[in-house]
Amino acid sequence: MHWIFWPLFSYLLGAVPFGLLLAKFLRGVDIRTEGSRNTGATNVARTCGLPLGLTALALDIAKGLVPVLLAARMSDNWLFLSLSALAPILGHVYSPFLGFKGGKAVATTIGAFLGLAFLPTLISVLLCVAAIFASGYVSLGSLVFGAALPAAMLLSGNGRFALVALAVTLLLYWRHRENIARLMRGEENSWRKKKG
């Protein structure tokens, strides 16, 4: 039964919009109407300050990581673990608490894959951070992370998770399609300075 109920629980945990809740209850701000209108940590940091943004980031990572770590205590089956990683990511992107809308799930993806395969995910995160600091664009760093993740899984001997990593990469790129268009036009907002 855990094959059904655990992914469902993981999906619902992933669907909890921590960024929105933190901003609303601690700052009185609805981040769905501010900044990029995204419910993720980046928009929380931009609209409510870095400390609250980092708190949202930690919670979004945790809601991906915890289900995978607990799933690994139930089974070492790669498919079960892959579903347990994918579920909170889908929950964050398509939250039933937000009318099946949500964030872009980069932080939740990081948490989920840290639980699946720590070292290749860490390498992908470091490439993400390097791209952000080199370019000034959080979105570009997220895209680099997405591109690196399946390759890192394959090259590190974690090929059993490469398929779910590729699926999540496609999802991340789809969720960042507007950012990609702005990057191509040179109109993306840099974290180094405010837009305009």
Q: What is the pLDDT of residues 140-169, one digit of tens each?
A: 999 999 999 999 999 999 999 999 999 999
Give the torsion sign (CA, 143, 148, 151, 157): negative
82: exposed, middle or buried (Cβ count in 10 Å: 0-12, 13-18, 19+): buried
- Supply the pLDDT for residue 195: 45
Q: What is the pLDDT of residues 29-78, one digit of tens each?
A: 898 888 778 888 888 988 898 999 999 999 999 999 999 999 999 999 99
User: Residues 91, 14: contact at Cβ < 8 Å?
Assistant: yes
Kindly give, in sequence order, each residue whose CB lies less than 8 Å from that of residue 104, ignoring residues fewer than 6 positions away. 38, 40, 93, 142, 172, 175, 176
Return the DSSP state at 102: -
